[in-house]
């Protein structure tokens, strides 16, 4: 048996949740969509309404079975961010302005070189801890226990 080598993970992600992208490979090639989720542990993204697959789910207690249509993840190399000016696919680079702020810049063939704005949806934090998963909500002023190894549980206030 031959073992597959471990996949090299991307450390500096330039594609973010909420970005407008164009699919450049696969069955939905050339279509524009929005990124719903980024799976950094697998170098994959889930694009809204694209790469749909049929999933057969067996009936169990509490849920019905059937055939469901789901969005399958795409590899990050199969999508490119849309340039805000030309509306075409482009690569994204990082640039520092004179005041020291870090911005994303469109680059590559057919790119305008303008800044690519961060999506507004990133201001809403979906995860407030390792175990808590609350999507599409913002917890303003909620007091949460701060967990650290070897210390008493202290309190912290989370603000979005």
Q: What residues form DSSP beta bridges with 94?
A: 104
Q: What is the pLDDT of residues 88-130, one digit of tens each?
A: 999 999 999 999 999 999 998 888 889 999 998 888 765 555 4
Using a cut of 0.75, tell me whether the model's pTM lies above it: no
**Residue-level pLDDT at 128:** 53
Rounded to whole angstroms, the Cα distance separating 60 from 50 reads 28
Rounded to whole angstroms, the Cα distance separating 21 from 155 reads 39
Rounded to whole angstroms, the Cα distance separating 119 from 140 reads 20
- What's the rounded mean pLDDT across residues 42-64? 92
Rounded to whole angstroms, the Cα distance separating 155 from 160 reads 17
DSSP state of 30: T
């Amino acid at each position: 048996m031959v073992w597959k080598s471990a996949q090299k993970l991307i450390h500096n992600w330039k594609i973010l949740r909420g970005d407008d992208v164009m699919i450049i490979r696969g069955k939905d090639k050339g279509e524009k969509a929005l990124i719903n989720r980024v799976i950094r542990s697998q170098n994959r993204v889930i694009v809204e309404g694209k790469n749909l697959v049929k999933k057969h789910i067996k009936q169990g207690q509490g849920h019905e079975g059937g055939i469901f249509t789901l969005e399958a993840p795409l590899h990050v190399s199969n999508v490119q961010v849309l340039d805000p000016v030309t509306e075409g696919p482009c690569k994204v680079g990082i640039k520092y302005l004179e005041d020291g702020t870090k911005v994303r810049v469109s680059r590559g063939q057919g790119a305008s070189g303008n800044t690519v704005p961060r999506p507004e949806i990133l201001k809403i934090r979906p995860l407030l801890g390792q175990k808590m998963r609350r999507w599409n909500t913002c917890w303003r002023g909620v007091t949460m226990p701060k967990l650290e190894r070897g210390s008493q549980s202290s309190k912290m206030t989370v603000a979005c």
